[in-house]
Amino acid sequence: MSVSCAVRPSFADSTSLSVCWARSPEDILKAQKLRAVAFGFCPPETPFDDIPPDCDIFDSYARHLMVTDTRTGHCVGTYRLLDPKGARKAGSFYTETEFDIVALTPFLAHTVELGRSCVHPDYRTGGVIALLWSALARTLIGENIRYLMGCASLDLANPDLDPDRIFSYLRLHGWGDPTLTVTPHRPYPCLLRPTGSERLPNLPPLLKGYLRLGARCIGNPSHDPLFRTADFPVWLPLSSMNGSYARHFFRTGPVLRP
């Protein structure tokens, strides 16, 4: 198959988007190739066959949510979920490759790790990530999951994102329980620069979304040289989810079965 990942749809036609679990190696490959495009490893117009998939050892043990544009068959959004059973098979959670998470040990049997979240550049209007979150939330209703964790990345090449300001804001307004602090294996140095201003700094969209849901940062950032990011560890007890967002994401709908 030789198709382009560059699709410029009419975003008003949201009925063309569907969400489901990846059910085959071919589905997972579509998600991995989308990740490569979304993370900037190749231009969006790269033909499908020429896209080098973004993959790691955790993919085989995780579940993959996919949003597909039914008009084209393209995967335009994806989220990876690694549950305790999958983490045992993989040897660890992905988060453990970046952080010492021993402080979270008592909670990990009821924790799902969220990762590799991305949306195709042509579809970043909010609808795709909302579909992913809604499907995720409804699925968790039927599982004994109490906590979510993951890494929220800050693109170090983006001049609009100031790591020091973001770190300082999180320490003042988005820091978690100190007894749950995790430690980065490769710390990214950030300076605490309190300004006295309450103005929200520019935040990466995923980190901003997690904070709105009620998640908290639980440690200093880790440096990921491959992705050229500073990764902030985030933790969300489902019981602490913001009420209005909980009502939105846990709205009535079918539970997706992996």
* Rounded Cα distance, 210 and 64, in Å: 19
Give tens-digit pLDDT for 18-76. Answer: 999 999 999 999 999 999 999 999 998 999 999 999 999 999 999 999 999 999 899 99
- Predicted confidence (pLDDT) per residue in 210-250, tens digit: 998 899 999 999 999 989 999 999 999 988 887 776 666 66
- Rounded Cα distance between 99 and 188, Å, is 12
Residue that is written with structure tokens 């949201």 in the block: 14
The phi and psi torsions of 8 (rounded to 5 degrees) equal -120, 85
Domains and CATH numbers, the chain: 81-249 (3.40.630)
Q: Which residues lie below 8 Å from residue 109, measured CB to CB, with a gap of 6+? A: 84
